[in-house]
Amino acid sequence: MEMRFPEVKAPEPAELETGRLLFAGETTFVKGVVAMDGLPPADRMEICFAGRSNVGKSSLINALTGRKGLARASNTPGRTQEINYFTAGDIYVVDLPGYGFANAPVAVVEKWQRLLKNYLSGRPTLRRVFVLIDARHGAKAVDEEIMSLLDRSAVTFQVIMTKVDKLRGDALEASLAKTRAALAKHPAAFPELILTSSEKGDGIPTLRAIIAGIS
Ligand X SMILES: Nc1nc2c(ncn2[C@@H]2O[C@H](COP(=O)(O)OP(=O)(O)OP(=O)(O)O)[C@@H](O)[C@H]2O)c(=O)[nH]1
Which residue, judged by CB position, is nearest to Mg ion in the bound state?
80
Contact segment (CB under 5 A) with Mg ion among 8-16, 27-35, 52-60, 155-163 equals 52-60
Distance of CA 8 to the CA centre of its chain: 16
Q: Which residues bind ligand X (CB under 6 A)?
A: 51, 53-59, 73-75, 77-80, 97-98, 162-163, 165-166, 197-199
Min. distance of Cβ 202 from ligand X in angstroms? Answer: 8
Q: Which is nearer to ligand X, 80 or 206 (CB)?
A: 80
Could you give the string, one character per residue 79-108, with x where binding to Mg ion holds by CB under 5 A and - elsewhere? Answer: xx----------------------------
Min. distance of Cβ 96 from ligand X in angstroms? Answer: 8
Contact residue for Mg ion among 27, 58, 65, 158 (CB under 5 A):
58
Does the footprint of Mg ion cover residue 197 (CB under 5 A)?
Answer: no
Q: Which is nearer to Mg ion, 57 or 128 (CB)?
A: 57
Min. distance of Cβ 50 from ligand X in angstroms? Answer: 9
- Please answer whether residues 150 and 188 qualify as being in contact, where contact means their C-beta atoms are separated by less than 8 angstroms: yes
Q: Which is nearer to ligand X, 42 or 208 (CB)?
A: 208
Q: CB under 5 to 8 A by kind: which of ligand X, Mg ion, none does 128 bind?
A: none
In whole angstroms, what is the distance from residue 37 CA to residue 203 CA? 35
Three-state SS string over the chain comes to CCCCCCCCCCCCHHHHHHHHHHHHCCEEEEEEECCHHHCCCCCCCEEEEEEECCCCHHHHHHHHHCCCCCCCCCCCCCCCCCEEEEEECCEEEEECCCECCCCCCHHHHHHHHHHHHHHHHHCCCEEEEEEEEECCCCCCHHHHHHHHHHHHHCCCEEEEEECHHHCCHHHHHHHHHHHHHHHCCCCCECCCCEECCCCCCCCHHHHHHHHHCCC
Q: Which is nearer to ligand X, 17 or 202 (CB)?
A: 202
Min. distance of Cβ 54 from ligand X in angstroms? Answer: 5
Q: Which residues of this chain interact with Mg ion, rule CB under 5 A?
A: 57-58, 79-80
